[in-house]
Amino acid sequence: MKNMLIIAVASLAGCCFIDKFAGEYPSSIDEGFVELFNGKDLSGWFGSKMYGVEEYKFKLNNGEEKTVPVLAYRPGQRTEEDRGNLLTEKEYRNFVLRFEFMLQPNGDCGLGLRVPCEKANAAYDGMCEIQMLDDGGSAYYDAEAKKDRIDGFRYACSVFGIVPARRDNFDRQIWGKDANFSGGGSYVRKPGMWNFEEVKVIGEEIEVWINGYLVTKTDLSGFRGDGTDTPDRKKHPGLHAAKGHLSWCGDNSPVIWKNIRIKELPEGAKMDGACPKAKMPCPEGFETYFDGSPEQLKTMWKGVTTEGGFDNPCVREKATPAELAEKQKIADKGRDEHWHVRNGVLYFDGYKGGYSLATKRDYADFELWADWRTLSITGDSGLYLRGSPQVQIWDAHNQWGIGSGGLYNNQKNPSSALAVADRQVGDWNRFHVIMRGEKVTVWLNGVKVVDDTPLENYWDRKRPIFPREQIELQCHGDPTEWRNVFIREL
């Protein structure tokens, strides 16, 4: 009885520690972004009358109909008085801008940076225009001849007239997801599909990310702007503007946007580390699996391969040491080619040949903190616990209407998250996971989404969950990022 009492007290103390710790470590992330579109009206904007607020209706994968507000450009007769430009009332210098947009076939639009006024041509009178284009469309790409119909400096996400965007997305995507993209090597999705874009501007440096891929990275201070050293050979008098408005630059095709938000950055900000920001300190008693240090990718993580079924713990437990070593070499090659540390985050590129990451150490009962974000609309990922799928990660707002965090592969026990606690695509989320025995509890951004629920053995449903196995960051063919991953055994 005395020993049982000691065990009970120790167990209770452990539970108190977990609850106390959960309160001390920030359960959610405030990145400091501000909405630029309120979904109701054009407050904070001025300019063209060809813009308005509309309702966009679509069906989720489960057939449920959903309606969201969008900023819509419906082109009419462009005149000298109305040139199709919609500007922010506020002027900006250094910032990170996130937004989602959808184009029509052969659609053409632009994002003006540091634009001086409504009638200005953003590409020349402003700092620059970031091209928004269905550049795989028939007007811009000859699919039969596999040849561009436009100059490189007009590609989607290019600094128009000055810096061509990367455009090499040919047969690269895992699991047939090439079908999502417009074509011609473009990283823009097909007309009628949503794109997620992130634009970073610091001084005269610019980065443009589209659907999880860095396609433009430049420093405009290297160009004179007098027409002598730019690819279009035109003068760009506003190239070195220090500050100005943001502008949507409408052309002759409809465009819609949603979830437009911005984070201003201070003077002296650096592109590396601008967003996401600094790492979190490792909580006491935890082991750091990733906090931004590049060497951690190889010291703390190993690759996972599907070759020979070696992503299945049931297969691995029957393999010889020689077979395990051989398959691990293949897995680590995929890790080295498709997982990267960039800007302080662990990034998976979503390309063929890449697959999940696993902790080099196996775990029984454990507690985990991890930050993650998806980088594409309808993106998909997850966390494997003890080698088994999975704590689900997906785009809850555009895909199923079910939140991330649920135990997706459960059949007998609950599989869906108790609530939708996901941030928008491109914004950071924070998981807190506790696993004891077969039961799992998950908090997402401080909201409990799984409550002490058994995780079933996906690989062999006749067996209980493995008593000890690796923890995995799942690849599901979409670019994803991770940071601040801390684990402790209980």
Report the percent of the chain where pLDDT is more than 70: 94
Tell me: pLDDT of 9 over 90: no
pLDDT band of residue 76 (cuts 50, 70, 90) is confident
Length of the chain as a residue count: 490
Kind plus residue range of the DSSP H or E element containing 13: helix 2-24
- Specify the pTM: 0.93
Residues 6+ apart with CB under 8 A from 312: 459
| pLDDT for position 279 | 83
Span 296-348, pLDDT tens digits: 999 999 999 999 999 999 999 999 999 999 999 999 999 999 999 988 899 99
| pLDDT for position 343 | 86
Span 103-132, pLDDT tens digits: 999 999 999 999 999 999 999 999 999 999
| pLDDT for position 277 | 55
| pLDDT for position 2 | 36
Q: Which residues of 342-371 are buried (b: 16+ CB within 10 A; e: fewer)?
A: ebbbbbbbbbbebbbbbbeebbeebbbbbb
Domain ranges within the chain, ordered by starting residue: 34-264, 279-489
pLDDT band of residue 272 (cuts 50, 70, 90) is confident
| pLDDT for position 3 | 41
109, 250 contact by CB (below 8 A):
yes
- In angstroms, rounded to a whole number, what is the distance separating the alpha carbons of residues 49 and 72? 11
Q: Tell me, letter by letter, the H, E, C secondary structure of 88-153.
A: EEEEECCEEEEEEEEECCCCEEEEEEEECCCCCCCCCCCCEEEEEECCCCCCCEECCCCEECCCHH
Amino acid at 357: L
Q: Does the 34-264 domain belong in CATH 2.60.120.560? A: yes
pLDDT band of residue 53 (cuts 50, 70, 90) is very high
Span 180-213, pLDDT tens digits: 999 999 999 999 999 999 999 999 999 999 999 9
Tell me: pLDDT of 442 over 80: yes
Amino acid at 160: F
| pLDDT for position 21 | 42
Span 227-268, pLDDT tens digits: 999 999 999 999 999 999 999 999 999 999 999 999 999 998
pLDDT band of residue 11 (cuts 50, 70, 90) is very low
Calculate the average pLDDT of the chain: 93
Helix H segments across 302-438?
313-316, 321-338
Q: Which CATH number fits domain 279-489: 3.40.1280.30, 2.60.120.560, 3.40.640.10, 2.130.10.10?
A: 2.60.120.560
| pLDDT for position 278 | 65
Tell me: pLDDT of 16 over 80: no
Residue with tokens 């590049």: 294
* CA-angle at 193, arms to 189 and 197, nearest 5°: 60
Residues paired with residue 128 on neighbouring β-strands, in sequence order: 113
**DSSP character at residue 159:** B
Amino acid at 22: A
| pLDDT for position 4 | 36
Q: Is 269 helix (H, G, I), strand (E, B) or coil?
A: coil
Tell me: pLDDT of 144 over 80: yes
One-character DSSP codes across 231-258:
TT----TTTT-SSEEEEEE--SS-EEEE
- In angstroms, rounded to a whole number, what is the distance separating the alpha carbons of residues 425 and 259? 9
Mean pLDDT on 469-474? 98
The β-bridge relationship of strands 65-73 and 51-59 is antiparallel
CA distances from 233 to 131, 133, 262 (A): 17, 21, 32
Mean pLDDT on 16-45? 80
- Radius of gyration (C-alpha) of the chain in whole angstroms: 24
Q: How many CB atoms lie within 10 A of CB 1?
A: 5
Tell me: pLDDT of 14 over 70: no
